[in-house]
């Protein structure tokens, strides 16, 4: 089954439709989003009707968006909405980056991905993504509502209460990170509560085959997607389990990192997305994520381009437990502690659970200093981090601020 007929249309028809929408999008962005009026000054919107023409436009990367927002709050001139009916909510992702949420149903277009994961009208969805500051909870809730599902807004934490709700409400569907699903299931086993989950939609962190297999052994069919707070859905997994199918309402490019030049099909590069969101019309938005196009069509029958999924970061920004951690946040932690000569955040995942450790070069460490640094890590990133002291000059002098050394089975 498919969410709609667009998923199985002829690829040439899809491409014509996407390219025909570009001139209107660019004209709208120039007229209503001051940042694009400046970035695209001199661009003839009517002439941008091909991927070649689109590739000549500048790329705005996530790191640049953060700097532009700092200079012109709240949205850096990229949004085409203001407070009121056109902007129902505003969220803050780490950085902070602010994202508007408009009034349209399924604003982030994730209903398509939930449908592919087996979610149907009448399901009760246990949504464990955060409902404060970041948009993840709302992203999933609005998609579930578009499908006719009921949502239990569980949010994160409070594991025993999560299990109590599982016992009382018996939800069939889970939404959240795979690591938190593992935690809930382990706690349910400990408390003698049988899980009612038969399907899961996970995102926000890596989902290795070993974890998928562990869920399947418990009768839970779990799928994943690739989405961001800025863009919404980018690509999603289907029952074929062969890569991720690109959403119908974006133009996706894979470019050579640090440039705007598209790579040849199959080559790994940075994911750049153009979205047709009239409220937040991001054009050639560089996500900082690496991926590659897969050849051929999906065996599931969907005909859109497939990508391999998330393959790492084109910059040092990384995602930990579903939250982006930026080098600038680590630099701010270091700035607050003059005792630190140099620091490097190492992200690893013992037992497949993400962990952050800030290695700090100091003359003399102490428990008090470690506690103060850890408190600032939590304040800046909204995540818990450990602190390790090392001798001055022991860290590599290579400019690396975040070192992601996670490994997956």
* The pair of three-digit structure tokens given for residue 181, joined into one six-digit string: 């699903």
* The pair of three-digit structure tokens given for residue 124, joined into one six-digit string: 């009760």
Rounded distance, CA 39 to CA 224, Å?
A: 34
Element (H, E) at 145: helix 136-147
Q: Is 173 helix (H, G, I), strand (E, B) or coil?
A: strand
Please give the distance of CA 360 from its chain centroid, rounded to a whole number. 29
pLDDT string in tens for the chain (409-residue length):
899 999 999 999 999 999 999 999 999 999 999 999 999 999 999 999 999 999 999 999 988 899 999 999 999 999 999 899 889 999 998 889 999 999 999 999 999 999 999 999 999 999 999 999 999 999 999 999 999 999 999 999 999 999 999 999 999 999 999 999 999 999 999 999 999 999 999 998 889 999 999 999 999 999 999 999 999 999 999 999 999 999 999 999 999 877 788 988 988 888 999 999 999 999 999 998 889 999 999 999 999 999 998 887 777 788 899 888 987 799 899 989 999 998 999 999 998 899 999 999 999 999 999 999 999 999 999 999 999 999 999 998 766 689 899 987 6
Q: Which residues contact 303 (CB under 8 A, 6 or more apart)?
A: 7, 8, 9, 10, 11, 14, 297
* The pair of three-digit structure tokens given for residue 90, joined into one six-digit string: 């505003």
Phi, psi torsion values for 355, nearest 5 degrees? -140, 140
Where do the H-state alpha helices sit in 2-61? 11-32, 34-39, 51-54
Rounded distance, CA 33 to CA 81, Å?
A: 8
* pTM for this predicted structure: 0.80
The residue with tokens 């018996």 is 170
Domains of the chain with bracketed CATH:
11-82+247-315 (3.40.50.12780), 104-229 (3.40.50.12780), 320-404 (3.30.300.30)
398: left (phi over 0), alpha (psi -120 to 50) or beta: alpha
Rounded distance, CA 217 to CA 302, Å?
A: 27
The residue with tokens 């002291």 is 389
Q: Which residues contact 16 (CB under 8 A, 6 or more apart)?
A: none
Q: Let me know if 326 is exposed, middle or buried by CB neighbors in 10 A (0-12, 13-18, 19+).
A: buried
């Amino acid at each position: 089954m498919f969410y709609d007929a667009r998923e199985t249309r002829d690829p040439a028809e899809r491409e014509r439709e996407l390219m025909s929408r570009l001139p209107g999008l660019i004209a709208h962005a120039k007229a209503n989003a001051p940042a694009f009026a400046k970035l695209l000054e001199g661009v003839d919107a009517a002439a941008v009707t091909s991927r070649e023409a689109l590739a000549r436009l500048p790329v705005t990367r996530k790191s640049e968006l953060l700097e532009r927002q700092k200079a012109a709050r709240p949205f850096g001139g990229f949004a085409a909405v203001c407070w009121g009916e056109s902007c129902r909510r505003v969220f803050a992702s780490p950085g902070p980056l602010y994202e508007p949420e408009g009034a349209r149903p399924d604003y982030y277009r994730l209903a398509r991905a939930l449908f592919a994961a087996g979610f149907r009208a009448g399901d009760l969805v246990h949504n464990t993504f955060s409902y404060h500051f970041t948009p993840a909870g709302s992203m999933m809730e609005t998609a579930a509502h578009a499908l006719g599902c009921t949502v239990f807004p569980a949010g994160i934490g409070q594991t025993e209460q999560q299990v109590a709700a599982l016992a009382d409400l018996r939800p069939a569907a889970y939404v959240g990170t795979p690591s938190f699903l593992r935690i809930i299931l382990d706690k349910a086993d400990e408390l003698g509560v049988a899980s009612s989950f038969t399907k899961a939609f996970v995102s926000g962190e890596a989902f290795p085959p070993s974890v998928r297999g562990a869920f399947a052994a418990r009768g839970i069919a779990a799928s994943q997607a690739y989405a961001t707070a800025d863009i919404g859905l980018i690509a999603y997994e289907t029952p074929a389990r062969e890569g991720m199918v690109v959403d119908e309402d974006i133009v996706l490019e894979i470019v050579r990192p640090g440039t705007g030049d598209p790579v040849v099909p199959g080559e790994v590069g940075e994911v750049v997305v153009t979205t047709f969101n009239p409220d937040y019309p991001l054009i050639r938005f560089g996500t900082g994520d690496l991926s590659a196009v897969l050849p051929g069509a999906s065996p599931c029958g969907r005909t859109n381009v497939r990508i391999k999924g998330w393959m790492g970061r084109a910059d040092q920004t990384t995602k930990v437990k579903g939250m982006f951690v930026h080098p600038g946040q680590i630099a701010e932690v270091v700035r607050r502690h003059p005792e630190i000569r140099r620091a490097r955040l190492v992200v690893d995942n013992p037992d497949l659970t993400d962990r952050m450790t800030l290695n700090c070069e100091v003359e003399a460490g102490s428990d008090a200093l470690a506690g103060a640094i850890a408190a600032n890590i939590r304040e800046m990133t909204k995540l818990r981090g450990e602190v390790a002291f090392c001798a001055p000059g022991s860290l590599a002098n290579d400019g690396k601020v975040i070192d992601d050394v996670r490994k997956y089975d």
